[in-house]
Amino acid sequence: MKTARILFPVLILGFATAALAGDVIVTIRHGALAPSQVIVSMGDTVTFRNADKMPGGHSVVADNGSFESPALDEGERWSYEFPKLGMFPYHVGEHPDVKGKVIVE
Protein backbone atom coordinates (compact mmCIF):
# COMPACT_ATOMS: atom_id res chain seq x y z
CA MET A 1 0.00 0.00 0.00
CA LYS A 2 2.85 2.41 0.68
CA THR A 3 4.13 1.93 -2.86
CA ALA A 4 0.78 2.98 -4.31
CA ARG A 5 0.78 6.15 -2.21
CA ILE A 6 4.24 7.10 -3.41
CA LEU A 7 3.65 6.35 -7.11
CA PHE A 8 0.34 8.18 -7.38
CA PRO A 9 1.76 11.70 -6.69
CA VAL A 10 4.67 11.00 -9.06
CA LEU A 11 2.27 10.07 -11.86
CA ILE A 12 0.19 13.21 -11.29
CA LEU A 13 3.33 15.37 -11.39
CA GLY A 14 4.37 13.72 -14.66
CA PHE A 15 1.04 14.56 -16.29
CA ALA A 16 1.17 18.16 -15.07
CA THR A 17 4.67 18.62 -16.48
CA ALA A 18 3.68 17.20 -19.86
CA ALA A 19 0.65 19.50 -20.09
CA LEU A 20 2.80 22.59 -19.52
CA ALA A 21 5.61 21.62 -21.89
CA GLY A 22 4.16 23.56 -24.86
CA ASP A 23 3.58 26.83 -23.00
CA VAL A 24 6.49 29.10 -23.89
CA ILE A 25 6.57 32.89 -23.56
CA VAL A 26 9.29 35.07 -25.04
CA THR A 27 9.40 38.63 -23.69
CA ILE A 28 10.41 41.43 -26.06
CA ARG A 29 12.19 44.37 -24.49
CA HIS A 30 14.01 47.21 -26.18
CA GLY A 31 17.27 45.60 -27.22
CA ALA A 32 16.64 42.11 -25.79
CA LEU A 33 14.60 38.91 -25.93
CA ALA A 34 14.09 36.74 -22.86
CA PRO A 35 14.77 33.94 -23.39
CA SER A 36 16.57 34.45 -26.69
CA GLN A 37 16.47 30.72 -27.50
CA VAL A 38 13.70 28.22 -26.79
CA ILE A 39 13.33 24.53 -27.52
CA VAL A 40 9.82 23.23 -28.17
CA SER A 41 8.13 20.18 -29.66
CA MET A 42 6.45 20.12 -33.06
CA GLY A 43 2.97 21.62 -32.70
CA ASP A 44 3.85 23.70 -29.63
CA THR A 45 2.94 27.37 -29.49
CA VAL A 46 5.35 30.16 -28.62
CA THR A 47 3.83 33.40 -27.38
CA PHE A 48 5.73 36.65 -27.87
CA ARG A 49 4.91 39.40 -25.38
CA ASN A 50 6.00 43.02 -25.78
CA ALA A 51 7.06 44.47 -22.41
CA ASP A 52 8.44 47.73 -23.75
CA LYS A 53 6.97 51.10 -24.65
CA MET A 54 7.89 52.07 -28.18
CA PRO A 55 5.95 54.19 -30.62
CA GLY A 56 4.59 51.77 -33.21
CA GLY A 57 5.33 48.70 -31.06
CA HIS A 58 7.61 45.71 -31.64
CA SER A 59 7.22 42.78 -34.03
CA VAL A 60 9.00 39.46 -34.47
CA VAL A 61 10.02 38.27 -37.94
CA ALA A 62 11.32 34.84 -38.93
CA ASP A 63 14.54 35.09 -40.94
CA ASN A 64 13.13 32.56 -43.45
CA GLY A 65 9.77 34.39 -43.72
CA SER A 66 7.76 31.56 -42.10
CA PHE A 67 6.14 33.89 -39.55
CA GLU A 68 5.76 37.58 -38.82
CA SER A 69 3.80 39.17 -36.03
CA PRO A 70 1.94 42.44 -36.27
CA ALA A 71 3.43 45.35 -34.31
CA LEU A 72 2.66 44.72 -30.64
CA ASP A 73 2.07 47.58 -28.24
CA GLU A 74 3.27 47.30 -24.65
CA GLY A 75 1.52 44.37 -22.94
CA GLU A 76 0.20 42.82 -26.16
CA ARG A 77 0.88 39.20 -27.11
CA TRP A 78 1.04 37.22 -30.34
CA SER A 79 1.32 33.45 -30.64
CA TYR A 80 2.61 31.14 -33.34
CA GLU A 81 2.28 27.35 -33.52
CA PHE A 82 5.37 25.66 -34.94
CA PRO A 83 4.07 22.94 -37.31
CA LYS A 84 7.36 21.35 -38.36
CA LEU A 85 10.77 20.35 -37.07
CA GLY A 86 13.73 22.66 -37.53
CA MET A 87 15.58 25.71 -36.39
CA PHE A 88 13.80 29.06 -36.78
CA PRO A 89 16.02 32.10 -36.26
CA TYR A 90 14.09 35.36 -35.96
CA HIS A 91 14.64 38.99 -35.07
CA VAL A 92 12.75 41.99 -33.75
CA GLY A 93 11.48 43.81 -36.85
CA GLU A 94 12.29 47.26 -35.49
CA HIS A 95 15.72 46.16 -34.17
CA PRO A 96 17.20 43.63 -36.66
CA ASP A 97 20.26 43.12 -34.45
CA VAL A 98 18.06 41.71 -31.65
CA LYS A 99 17.91 38.03 -32.55
CA GLY A 100 16.33 34.89 -31.17
CA LYS A 101 15.90 31.27 -32.14
CA VAL A 102 13.17 28.67 -31.80
CA ILE A 103 14.34 25.06 -32.07
CA VAL A 104 11.58 22.55 -32.81
CA GLU A 105 12.49 18.96 -31.93
pLDDT at 23: 78
For the chain, what are the domain ranges? Answer: 22-104
Q: Residue 44, Cβ neighbours under 10 Å: how many?
A: 19
Q: Is the pLDDT of residue 94 over 80?
A: yes
In this structure, which topology does domain 22-104 adopt according to CATH?
Immunoglobulin-like (2.60.40)
pLDDT at 22: 59
Taking only the tens place, the pLDDT of each residue in 1-40 is: 444 444 434 333 333 222 234 579 999 987 899 999 999 9
